[in-house]
Chain A
């Protein structure tokens, strides 16, 4: 009886762990797609990733809506987007992702590079993870 109970607890804990790692993997993959949308100037990808009420605060403290972020992607000058040190903190149907992104681009013939820290909030909605908020800050600002 006890063995059966422990076995059942073990299975349930294992299932929860699998579900968590599955959620983490999906969120990290979507974070990657988000960065690549800037490289491929793909606003449609962002339309799917960002919730309609999404808000972002950029590293100058400027507040951006989903429409503004999507418009930024359309005119993106980014040629390379890499992420590092990403960590997912799951809180049921909500997740917090912290990490650092490095991007390189060319604007009016001038190359530029940025390395900034970000924090994104994700929410599981209608069977998929969507971002509902984000903030970007200069490292060591």
Chain B
């Protein structure tokens, strides 16, 4: 379903001057956030390449471990709010840089933590697949 969406895009999703590939990736980033918020591992499984590398909190997480974590997480812990996002494509590869907010608990206190992320997507046989996702907490 997600892969179909990525190849037939609504006109409104496309930013002026943006390539079709960049728009497809932008849409998939949105789908990914939505899937994560709904513990929707099936969609994430389709979006993630089998060799995807996740780096969060300084640790490398495999696809299997990441999906397990999403499945067992409380939905409110997965409520990611995308703030900014730029997509740049180089042939069949796309680099996405942006920021998001995500709930976190520090010292028993709930707070919204801001992160900057870099995602790498590769178009494989017509479908954009996420091959790397890394994020760093913003110090300010």
Contact = CB atoms under 8 A, between A and B. Distances in A.
Contacts of B97: 55, 57, 63, 133
Shortest Cβ-Cβ A-B pairs, 4 listed: A61-B138, A61-B116, A141-B58, A60-B139
Contact of B116 (A57, A94, A134): A57
B76 interface: no
Interface string A108-141: 0000000011010101010000001111111111
* Interface of B: prevailing SS: strand
Interface residues of B, number: 31
A137 B58 contact: yes
A67 interface: no
Interface in A18-41: none
* Interface of A: prevailing SS: strand
B95 interface: yes
A133 B97 CA distance: 9
Nearest to B116: A61
Interface in B107-140: 114-118, 120, 122, 124, 131-132, 134-139
A77 interface: no
Contact of A140 (B59, B118, B131): B59
Contacts, number: 102
Question: Which residue among A53, A59, A91 has the maximum number of chain B CB atoms within 10 Å of its CB?
Answer: A91
A18 B118 CA distance: 30
Interface in B59-105: 59-60, 88, 90-93, 95, 97
Contacts of A83: none
B139 A89 contact: no
A123 B93 contact: yes
A96 B120 contact: yes
Contacts of B53: 89, 96, 98, 119
B10 to A, nearest CB: 27
B92 A141 contact: no
A140 to B, nearest CB: 5
B9 interface: no
Contact of B51 (A51, A53, A89): A89
A30 to B, nearest CB: 17
Contact of B131 (A51, A58, A89, A116): A89
Contacts of A57: 97, 116-118, 134, 136
A51 to B, nearest CB: 8
B120 A121 contact: yes
Given A117-B58, A119-B53, A94 B92 contact: yes
A135 to B, nearest CB: 4
